[in-house]
Amino acid sequence: MFPTPGFLAIEAGLINLVTRKERFLMCVNGYFGEIAVRITKTHKRNVVLLEKDYGEPITPEDVEGALEKNKDIEAAFIVYNETSTGVMNPLRDIGKVFKDHDLLVMVDAISIFGGAEINMDEWGIDLCIGYASKALGGMPGIVPIGISRRLWKILDERTGEPDSWYLDFRTWKKSIREMAAWGHPHPSAMPTHTVIALREALRQVIDEGLENVYRRHKVFAAAFRNAIKAMNLQLVAPEEYASPTITVVRLPEGIPKKLIDGMLENFNVMISGGLGKFAGKIVRVGHMGYTARKAPISRTIAAMGYTLKTLGFNVNVDTALKAFYDSLITK
């Protein structure tokens, strides 16, 4: 459990996975992948880019092609759920390709941890960055990190000066061994309130059942997308790769900010705008954790529909809500 914001956990993962010697494949199809590349280049890692346009998934064929062209790559990074576009990359199938090439693999799962299946051992993941809030429903400020035995062995055998003391996983492992005896097994004070909130969030997930939680996210995401289609709005992610925790909707220039402001001011419903290449072009609507339920989503659909009507869109709110509820009935 790493007491840090998500970006710092990503930075820690990236500088622990590889040194400056290894060639490192970075799969990028959105803003958060771009930030990871920026972090990696800041630490002067030897990056090979596999880039796709915003809204397009990274496919196993893309990865296989990149690895065929760069046979000396030793590690790879991918964002499982790219929240800047609403695309969930097919990690299970991509993991098979990584495994076939015997790569060390790091996954940014921050926005989907607790909302969809992640199996480190079966999918060949050596380093997985989760998060306590978002889909899991705890509080921000602490990051669950999964580290494979293979990566621990590499870290234990690695020589040379690390890029960071605090972010070096070996610092944390050493603290657990040396400091646990006197009750402080971390090199930093832990955010106790966040740990307690994480424990409660995990208890609720266990009570509901993990498979039920995954199914709930998937069902309500699909139902919300049907409501968006009923409003005659354009989705960014292809249906096959649509995220179960966030939906991204294209809108004419200038409309996203007006929609976001209107929904917040008049309905007290908060959605987000675009990032990177999508700035000012889309809105992002989260349906994760507690909000992946009937009441929060139906309220969001109503707020979105009525606000769009005031902005001159020909939207039938009743039709959108019917599409949402009809989708749930058929499930």
Q: Which helix (H) or strand (E) holds 319?
A: helix 317-330
**β-pair type (104-108, 73-79):** parallel
Q: What is the full DSSP assignment across 157-189? A: H--S--S-STT-HHHHHHHHHHHGGGT--SSS-
**Cα 51 to Cα 79: distance, rounded to the nearest angstrom:** 12
What pLDDT, on the 0 to 100 scale, is given for residue 180? 66
- Residue ranges of the chain assigned to CATH 3.90.1150.10: 210-330
**Once rounded to an integer, what is the mean pLDDT over residues 106-114?**
97
What pLDDT, on the 0 to 100 scale, is given for residue 331? 58
Q: Given pLDDT bands bounded at 50, 70 and 90, which one contains residue 188?
A: confident
Q: How many CB atoms lie within 10 A of CB 285?
A: 24
Residue 264 has pLDDT above 70, yes or no: yes
Q: List pLDDT tens digits, range 203-237.
A: 999 999 999 999 999 999 999 999 999 999 999 99
What pLDDT, on the 0 to 100 scale, is given for residue 174? 82
- Residue ranges of the chain assigned to CATH 3.40.640.10: 6-192
What pLDDT, on the 0 to 100 scale, is given for residue 168? 93
Tokens of 127: 């380093």
Going by C-alpha positions, the residue among 57, 51, 62 that lies closest to residue 27 is 51
**Cα 194 to Cα 133: distance, rounded to the nearest angstrom:** 9
**Once rounded to an integer, what is the mean pLDDT over residues 47-62?**
98
Q: Given pLDDT bands bounded at 50, 70 and 90, which one contains residue 162?
A: confident
% residues pLDDT > 70 (the chain): 98
What pLDDT, on the 0 to 100 scale, is given for residue 326? 96
**Cα 151 to Cα 79: distance, rounded to the nearest angstrom:** 19
- What three-state secondary structure class fits 144? coil
- Which of the following CATH numbers is that of domain 210-330: 3.30.1490.20, 3.40.50.180, 3.90.1150.10, 3.40.109.10? 3.90.1150.10
- Which of the following CATH numbers is that of domain 6-192: 3.40.640.10, 3.40.605.10, 3.30.465.10, 3.40.367.20? 3.40.640.10
* E strand spans, 14-79: 23-28, 46-51, 73-79
What pLDDT, on the 0 to 100 scale, is given for residue 160? 82
% residues pLDDT > 90 (the chain): 90
Q: Whose structure tokens read 């809204």?
A: 55
What pLDDT, on the 0 to 100 scale, is given for residue 69? 96
* Helices then strands, each counted (H, E), the chain: 12, 12
Of 9-23, 115-129, 158-172, the poorest mean pLDDT is in 158-172
